[in-house]
Structure 1
Amino acid sequence: MSEHRVRVEVDECGVATVTLDRAEKHNALDPAMFDALVDATTRIAADRSVRAVVLHGAGKSFCSGLDITGLADRKGMGPRDLLAREDGQVAGHGQRVAYGWSRVPAPVIAAITGNCFGGGLQIALGADIRFATPDARLSIMEVKWGLVPDMGITQSLPRLVGLDVAKELTFTGRIITGAEAKEIGLVTHVVDDPYAAASELAREIAGKSPHAVQAAKRLYEETWTGSDPASALLLESRLQVELMGSPNQIEAVTAGKAGRAPVFVDPD
């Protein structure tokens, strides 16, 4: 990374806190931010000690979307470059900052405050769970600039809202509040302090068997939409067979019977 944009901190419980750190620009996405987010998702996905992730923005906003000026200022780099795909990558560079969170084995929890527009919203939608303040401002804003959302929204939005709702939000680009977003299913919870709530939930999840939690995330990621019943049911069985009799599964049962807190080992 040529510039500092994202901070990643992993605590003793295995909770990784990822902070979009460009508060003076409401964490707008410039080339350095794209690079830093791709790097963060890659590193966290490879860190087997991470059991849960909290994703939030420094300052007043989660992320205000694309910084067009910032892209234009980088020599040889423009919006079209974000669409490029590296060999072997399913998603383009710009898509990986959102889609990459679904590839992280551990659950990812987004804490949304202030503005969450365009690409910023697509990043939040890439998380597994979302907390937002009642007055947070969310928008699929790309139509304002004569564009379509192109940062992985086809893989996230269909799991959360109906087609008619998705079309209305995309056709209009209108800004909705966190409270409205909760009503239509765009966010999971509305709270006054999303970061505190997300951190508390992350610590709770980190106390469960990481093998079971990560298997559950994989199960839903691979089957929630577009999967035929035979393949989905087979994956359920395969994942369960892998878990049954494993050290962490035995520890969960043993600790439960003894009435003590379990001590789990990280995945290999």
Structure 2
Amino acid sequence: MQGRISIRVTDGVADVKLTRSEKMNALDHGMFEALVEAGEKLKADRSVRVVVLSGEGRAFCAGLDMGNFSNMAEGSGGKAVPRDLIARTHGAANRPQYAVWVWRELPVPVIAAVHGVAFGGGFQLALGADIRYVAPDTRMSVMEIKWGLVPDMAGTQLMRHLAREDIVRELTYTGRVFTGQEAFAMGFATRVTDEPYGDAMTTAREIASKSPDAIRASKRILNSAVITQPVDGLTSEAAEQQVLIGSPNQVEAIMSNLEKRAPRYADPAA
């Protein structure tokens, strides 16, 4: 986790920070590994009663590191994107999905404190939390369509339980940027606040003061009530994404963005 994520546990509250601030906490191979490692470590720590997940610097998480899009255009996803996305390497999930899904699997509540930007995978990471406190001017986006991709870090399985289906579809099809205020109106933000981190810590301390057995039981119940058979949905995400990565139109999406020009997409084969 060195150089990517820090963890400090005080009185049952785990303060987890993405620390790649010079890159707006973008998701490279090291960040994916750190998210999984941090989640697994916290799973095993019985002293942890609640987690606050935040990002240092100007952003919560800017999404997939730009270098990985260049790799896709050259026919490789790079280390951050495994070649085989269909393989279930972490229970119901593949590795990129598990970087988000692990926070849902944590036996204790997770509060995401979101500011700056939460684009693409960064937005999906926030969705993996139980609760999201978001600054009003935060910019958020289901940005995968910009790069000719689909949301494939558990986003399709998480968004549909938070917002209306038509809203999820509009955001997924357009990739438009929306604010923290809009996120609250749509159902993605629990609370809009000028101090998302401070307020998240206040709520975390309140949760930590409650019976840890009851809190863990509550999360188990709520998880089972909201999401059933996640393996089917997560596998569907992965199957679609694996076909898209490196395909001609996905490469064109990348190149048109990198070259700052209008894309020239070919008609689909079928």
> Which TM-score tier does this pair reach, normalised by the shorter chain?
0.7 to 0.9
- Does the 8 Å CA contact 2:68/2:77 hold for their aligned counterparts? no
CA change 1:46–1:81 in 2 (3 A) is: farther
Q: How does 1:1-268 map to 2 (within 5 A)?
A: 3-11=2-10, 13-69=11-67, 72=71, 77=79, 79-81=81-83, 83=85, 85=87, 87=89, 89-226=91-228
- Larger CA deviation: 153-162 vs 197-206: 153-162
Distance (Å, rounded) in 2 between the aligned partners of 1:196 and 1:82: 40
Shift of 1:153: 1.2
User: How far apart, CA to CA, are the structure 1 residues paired with 2:102 and 2:60?
Assistant: 17
Q: 1:226 to 1:97 in 2, by over 3 A?
A: closer
Q: What's the C-alpha RMSD, in Å, of the aligned pairs? A: 2.1
Deviation at 1:24, TM superposition (A): 0.7
Equivalent position amino acid for 2:8 in 1: E
CA distance in 1, matches of 2:135, 2:78: 38
Residue number in structure 2 paired with 1:241: none
Give the greater-gyration-radius structure (CA). 1
In the alignment, the residues of structure 1 paired with residue 93 and residue 49 of structure 2 have an alpha-carbon distance, to the nearest angstrom, of: 24
Mean CA deviation greater in 160-169 or 65-74: 65-74
Determine helix, strand or coil for the equivalent of 1:159: coil
Would you say the 8 A contact 1:83–1:95 is kept in 2? no
CA deviation after TM superposition for structure 1 residue 88, in Å = 5.8
| Structure 1 residues without counterparts, runs of 5 or longer | 228-268
Task: Give the partner amino acid of 1:20.
Answer: L
In structure 1, what is the Cα distance between the partners aligned to 2:77 and 2:129? 31
Post-superposition offset of 1:223? 1.2
Q: In 2, distance between residues paired with 1:55 and 1:93?
A: 19
Give the residue type in structure 1 aligned to 2:24.
H
Relative contact order (C-alpha < 8 Å, sep 6+): which is higher? 2
**Aligned mates of 2:115, 2:151 — CA distance in 1:** 21
Contact 1:84 1:93 in 2 (8 A): no
CA shift, 1:224, in A, is 1.9
Equivalent residue letter for 1:181: A
Question: What displacement does 1:126 show?
Answer: 0.2
- Residue type of the alignment partner of 2:55: G
CA offsets per residue over residues 77-119 of structure 1, 9 Å max, x none?
A: 2524483646562211000111110110010000000010000
SS at match of 2:107: coil
> Whole-Å Cα distance in 1 between the matches of residues 134 and 79 of structure 2?
33
Q: Matched residues in 2 for 1:145 and 1:87: separation? A: 25
Runs (5+) with no aligned partner, structure 2: 230-270
Q: What whole-Å deviation, never above 9, does each CA across 1:43-77 have from its counterpart, x for those lacking one?
A: 10111110000000000100000003158499962
Shift of 1:18: 0.6
Change beyond 3 A, Cα 1:87–1:23: closer
TM-score, normalised with respect to structure 2: 0.79
In structure 2, how many angstroms separate the alpha carbons of the residues matched to 1:95 and 1:178? 24
Quick check: 1:85–1:93 contact (8 Å CA) kept in 2? no
Q: 1:111 to 1:78 in 2, by over 3 A?
A: closer
Cα 1:216–1:87 change in 2 (3 A) is same
Q: Counterpart of 1:264?
A: none
How much does 1:158 deviate? Answer: 1.4
Residue correspondences, number: 225
Give the Cα–Cα distance (whole angstroms) in 2 for the partners of residues 130 and 25 of structure 1.
22
